[in-house]
Amino acid sequence: MRRFAFALSLCVLAFLRPPGSAAAADASVQEAEFGQMPNNTPVKVFTLTNAKGMRVKVMTLGATLIEILAPDRHGAMTNVILGASNFDAYRKGFNAAASVIGRVANRIAKARFTLDGVDYKLVANSGSNHIHGGRAGFSSKVWQAKAKPVREHSAAVELTYLSPDGEEGYPGALSVTVTYTLTDENELRIDYEATTDKATPVNLTNHAYFNLAGHGDALNHDLWLAAGHYTLADDQLIPTGEVASVRGTPLDFTMPTRLGARIAKLQPKLKGYDHNFILNHGGRTLALSARLTEPTSGRVMEMRTTEPGMQLYTANHLNHAAVCLETQHYPDAVNHPEFPTTILRPDQRLHSTTMFTFRTQ
């Protein structure tokens, strides 16, 4: 039965390839079962492979990246994100999963907001605050998925989720689509789309934990950010509404700087970086916003995004085993009208793109 299912999968993939595509034998998508949820809902994994041998695996639980195999300067492949060794670890809540975060990534103060004159109370799951969509956010949902037709020089998978009205306290039924595309240029593109039947806040991201060495801590990585300012926050990491320059602070990555070089100068309570940076381009275009370099392996990752902000998090709960570059709108934006808005209305369509390009030096 397993052999029959595998053969059927290959037939489906062959059908998805456009006739005469020169790159059809190179770029590919494979689909397989990965596990089952306690209610017997199956969880699948899609494997995207490009012509250069780079490989990306996406799991339908949480629309989660479970592997990004990228080459070092000698061509050796390593998984450059943290991942669990088996499905059960993810099912039980692996605390470094590269999942899609929503309905609203990051924090909402006091787990409440007012929209169009109506007060909404969300699930409080970080003290009195709301974080990353609540106790049962998008990262805990099994998404529907399908392989996209293999195009010349790229392979992709599309995942969808319908968040019902009232889920975790949010208004409106929200339809979300996330597409992962791997190109032959070693680019991993993430496209987010959403529509709603009622005004609601939306702020989607992927919480990947990157370690370009594949082992050890991430503090020897060099980071450059196209960000001259950041949002000030209180001791609960809730923005105060003020914006400050990074100049003369440990948050200045306007020149390439080792992640661990000034980490000791941060507030001891933080144990590392957990800050929202305001990207210079303001979210107006798909612009180069960050460059992460691991000197030993020679791996370089460049990040481009259409989002106006990025949360830099050095996996402080994991002794800095990785670094997160969470492209986003600003935390608690729904309670700060001076911030770029996160409100999506029924006559609008959200479209956001973040792209990670891997190369070596």
Q: Are 59 and 43 contacting, i.e. CB atoms less than 8 angstroms apart?
A: yes
pTM value is: 0.93
Amino acid 146: pLDDT: 97
Residue 16, number of CB atoms within 10 A of its CB = 17
Q: CA–CA separation, 263 vs 223, rounded Å? A: 13
Q: Note the helical H segments in the chain.
A: 2-16, 87-91
Amino acid 336: pLDDT: 98
The conformation of residue 184, written as its DSSP 8-state character, comes to T
Q: For each of the chain's 361 residues, which pLDDT tens digit applies? A: 434 333 333 333 433 444 333 334 589 999 999 999 999 999 999 999 999 999 999 999 999 999 999 999 999 999 999 999 999 999 999 999 999 999 999 999 999 999 999 999 999 999 999 999 999 999 999 999 999 999 889 999 999 999 999 999 999 999 999 999 999 999 999 999 999 999 999 999 999 999 999 999 999 999 999 999 999 999 999 999 999 999 999 999 999 999 999 999 998 888 999 999 999 999 999 999 999 999 999 999 999 999 999 999 999 999 999 999 999 999 999 999 999 999 999 999 999 999 999 999 9
Q: Are 47 and 62 contacting, i.e. CB atoms less than 8 angstroms apart?
A: no
DSSP code string of 95-137: TT-B-EE-SB-SEEGGGEEEETTEEEE----BTTBEETT-TT-
Nearest to 326 by CA among 211, 240, 236, 206: 206
Known catalytic residues?
Answer: 207, 326
Q: CA–CA separation, 140 vs 136, rounded Å? A: 6
Q: Which residues contact 7 (CB under 8 A, 6 or more apart)?
A: none
Amino acid 288: pLDDT: 98
DSSP bridge partners of 309: 278, 328
CA distances from 177 to 160, 199, 360 (A): 4, 18, 31
Amino acid 117: pLDDT: 98
Backbone φ, ψ for residue 18 (5° rounding): -65, 140
Amino acid 48: pLDDT: 98
Q: What is the largest CA-CA distance in the chain?
A: 63
